[in-house]
DNA sequence: AATCGGGCGTACA
DNA sequence: CTGTACGCCCGAT
């Protein structure tokens, strides 16, 4: 949280992105945990939407956000889910399925 | 294992 | 401004 710049967007998105950036490398966070983190444990869908609207994949490691089941879920970035899995494995995270 | 509905917010008409 | 449709989902049946 020193020089990371978050692009403009809705309050929700900024809040979600802010939390995603806080995720340490080599670790993953579930959408539910993220939703609860921002104060809306039941708004997990809205959160997922905000993550999907992430314009900066290099600044915001949205690939570190996975489902509660351990699955990767989806990925709107370049390469799709395949890239997401690759990035996670690259950080040393064993991906289920 | 597969299917359905639910909760929240954004985008579009 | 009001209504409808959709999403990188979740939980229950």
pLDDT in tens, A11-55: 999 999 999 999 999 999 999 999 999 999 999 999 999 999 998
Helices (H), chain A: 11-21, 31-38, 44-52, 80-90
The reply to whether A62 belongs to the active site is yes
Cβ contacts of residue A45 below 8 Å, gap of 6+? none
Flag residues 31-60 of A with CB < 7 Å from strand C: 31-32, 44-46, 48-49, 51-52, 54, 57
Query: Would you call A94 exposed, middle or buried from its count of C-beta atoms within 10 A (0-12, 13-18, 19+)?
Result: exposed
Do A23 and A64 meet the contact criterion of CB atoms below 8 Å apart? yes
**The predicted structure's pLDDT at residue A23:** 96
Nucleotide nearest to A44 (CA to C1'): C9
Flag residues 33-52 of A with CB < 7 Å from strand B: 40, 42-46, 49-50
**Sign of the torsion angle spanned by Cα atoms A1, A60, A90, A27:** positive
**The predicted structure's pLDDT at residue A38:** 93
């Amino acid at each position: 949280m020193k020089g990371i710049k978050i692009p403009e967007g809705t309050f929700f998105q900024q809040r979600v992105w802010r939390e995603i950036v806080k995720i340490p490398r080599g670790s993953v966070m579930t959408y539910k945990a993220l939703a609860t983190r921002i104060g809306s444990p039941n708004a997990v869908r809205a959160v997922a939407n905000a993550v999907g609207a992430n314009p900066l994949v290099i600044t915001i490691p949205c690939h570190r956000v996975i489902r509660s089941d351990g699955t990767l879920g989806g990925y709107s970035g370049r390469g799709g889910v395949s890239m997401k899995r690759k990035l996670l494995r690259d950080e040393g995270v064993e991906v289920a399925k």
